[in-house]
Amino acid sequence: MFRVIALIATLFGFVIASPAHADRRVALVIGNGSYQHAAPLANPANDARAVAAALERLGFDVVSGFDLSNAEMRKTVRAFADKLVAADVAIFFYAGHGLQVAGENYLIPVDAAIRSEADLDFNAVKMDLISRQLDRESKVKIIMLDACRDNPFEKELTRSMGKTRSTAVKKGLAEINTAGGTLIAFATDPGSVALDGDGKHSPFTTALLKHIETPGIEIGLMMRRVTKDVFESTGERQRPWTNASLTGELYLKEGETAGITPAPPAVPPPSSASGFDDRQLELAMWQAADKSGQAADYEEYLKRYPNGQFAGLARNRLQALKNKPGSVNTAATDQTRSADGSQNRSTEEAAELQIGMTLNDRMGVQRRLNLIGFNTRGVDGAFGPGTRNAISRWQESRSFAPASGYLNAQQYQALIAQTETAYANWIAQQRARPPAPPPQQPTTATAPAPQPQPQPQQQGPTARDVLQGVGTITDTIRIFRR
């Protein structure tokens, strides 16, 4: 029976965690910090040792190396390539210096001296060398690069390349293109610089170690929690970036879920148990109520957040709705909603909250739906009627039942996988757009030209406007904080 279940799971692209680790797991972990021709880094070797130990506890066959020379680094990569044959899951973690030139990423051994473009070929290890091994042998590939620190060879390298070619040297690391079934995690956004940290580990590795051994957590959710922790711990100066094309769910450690998402509780758990910021849930719940304008939705918000940051506005809206001529009895409305199956809706809402989507994630969902023809009527992170209708229509197109308009973890991953190419193309188009021209400065004339009649300045919606449903959630927060 187990072999039948495993076969079915494989056909659907899922990797199931089990106590015996039926999937074959291998990992390559490298940490370089004791540089001979650049300022040494304090944390990479510590980071790599801690990650290697965690992966071993998770059942990975780990090939590791710390403070490796060029020859040692290539030898270690070759040993990893030998172990990759027929691997189900493979992880590569690197901490240390890395740099990008002409869109190519290079990992720097501790004995490297990078003074010219030719030195990159002979004294550095091209990231593509490792990517090719992963693509050739393993089914699921995870790449984690804590290597976006300042490039210590930038000045000398750009000087040797001349004024024209030196523009190819960029900060941070470039995006990586690999085959499907891959998750790539950078310590910060591509082209940005990450922090080495003042403690025992870098901010990225600290967050990774906090979550990587959490039982029953899907790796996509795990990386979102890592991103949140790094963003907050660095005072919003560093935000990890993840690109995933996984076709199924991957669980690094078995738990109560054992790789299968359980039926969620009717009431979402508190933030301390769920692992994501309860403020995001409050904001999402307020936005949903604000979009619908229904008394029952405001009451639902107040039931969960009686002292929330939007509680005063919610009570004002409720009072306005009750005093509105021709308004219906809210209690009777609530009874009707309960009879229509509010318990099922609460379960579906809880399943969506369990995903732990940030505001950016919710905007990404709206963008992805729009790209494949399901109009959400805006991209603002607020899942109002337009977004709910778009989700419902998408669920119907994929034969998900019920088509409730609320996503669960499996559907969220399916949407990401379906739209990955379209979303990547959209991002590339946005980056290729020329920057907006700077505003023209007014010229000074000896005689002032006739001035048009002054128009009242637009300062954005007022508090009265917001209470009448005009304005965005940003306007609401701005007015609330005055």
On whether both 300 and 221 belong to a single domain, the answer is no
**Are 107 and 124 within 8 A, CB to CB?**
yes
Structural domain includes residue 300: yes
State yes or no: pLDDT of 122 exceeds 70.
yes
CA 281, chain centre distance (Å)? 17
On whether both 295 and 394 belong to a single domain, the answer is yes
Percent of the residues in the chain that have a pLDDT greater than 90, as a whole number: 25
Q: How many domains does the chain have?
A: 2
Structural domain includes residue 249: no
pLDDT, average across residues 283-311: 81
On whether both 293 and 197 belong to a single domain, the answer is no
DSSP letter at 29 equals E
379-408 pLDDT, tens per residue? Answer: 888 888 889 889 989 888 888 888 888 999
Q: What is the pLDDT of residue 365?
A: 93
Cis ω before 19 (30° cut-off from 0):
no
Residue 262's pLDDT band, with cuts at 50, 70 and 90, is very low
323-353 pLDDT, tens per residue? Answer: 765 554 443 444 433 333 334 446 888 788 8
On whether both 27 and 149 belong to a single domain, the answer is yes
Structural domain includes residue 439: no
Structural domain includes residue 410: yes
State yes or no: pLDDT of 413 exceeds 80.
yes
State yes or no: pLDDT of 282 exceeds 80.
no
On whether both 348 and 232 belong to a single domain, the answer is no
Q: Which is more confidently placed, 320 or 240?
A: 240
On whether both 294 and 182 belong to a single domain, the answer is no
State yes or no: pLDDT of 261 exceeds 50.
no
On whether both 240 and 284 belong to a single domain, the answer is no
State yes or no: pLDDT of 292 exceeds 60.
yes
Separation CA 433–CA 428 (nearest Å): 9
Residue 296's pLDDT band, with cuts at 50, 70 and 90, is confident
Q: Are strands 241-244 and 89-95 parallel, antiparallel or unpaired?
A: unpaired
Of 378, 398, 423, at which residue does a domain stop? 423
Overall size of the chain counted in residues: 482
Q: What is the pLDDT of residue 297?
A: 83
Structural domain includes residue 89: yes
On whether both 284 and 223 belong to a single domain, the answer is no
Separation CA 474–CA 472 (nearest Å): 5
State yes or no: pLDDT of 451 exceeds 70.
no
On whether both 319 and 208 belong to a single domain, the answer is no
186-228 pLDDT, tens per residue? Answer: 888 765 666 656 678 999 999 999 999 999 999 999 999 999 9
Structural domain includes residue 415: yes
Question: Across 214-339, where does the E strand assignment appear?
Answer: 241-244
Q: What is the pLDDT of residue 160?
A: 55
Q: Tell me if the pTM is above 0.85.
A: no
Domain of residue 147, CATH code: 3.40.50.1460
On whether both 317 and 376 belong to a single domain, the answer is yes
State yes or no: pLDDT of 437 exceeds 70.
no
Q: What is the pLDDT of residue 344?
A: 44
Of 209, 244, 279, at which residue does a domain stop? 244
Query: What range defines the domain where residue 61 resides?
Result: 2-244
On whether both 189 and 307 belong to a single domain, the answer is no
Structural domain includes residue 440: no
**Are 275 and 259 within 8 A, CB to CB?**
no
Of 397, 423, 449, at which residue does a domain stop? 423
Structural domain includes residue 194: yes
State yes or no: pLDDT of 308 exceeds 70.
yes
- Token pair for 38: 């650049």
pLDDT, average across residues 62-71: 96
Q: What is the pLDDT of residue 381?
A: 81
Residue 462's pLDDT band, with cuts at 50, 70 and 90, is low
Q: What is the pLDDT of residue 286?
A: 78
Q: What is the pLDDT of residue 355?
A: 85
76-104 pLDDT, tens per residue? Answer: 999 999 999 889 999 999 999 888 877 78
In the sheet where 104-107 sits, what is the strand order?
125-126, 104-107, 98-101, 169-170
Residue 290's pLDDT band, with cuts at 50, 70 and 90, is confident
Q: Are strands 104-107 and 98-101 parallel, antiparallel or unpaired?
A: antiparallel
Q: What is the signed CA dihedral for 47, 49, 52, 54, rounded to 10 degrees?
A: -80
On whether both 208 and 311 belong to a single domain, the answer is no
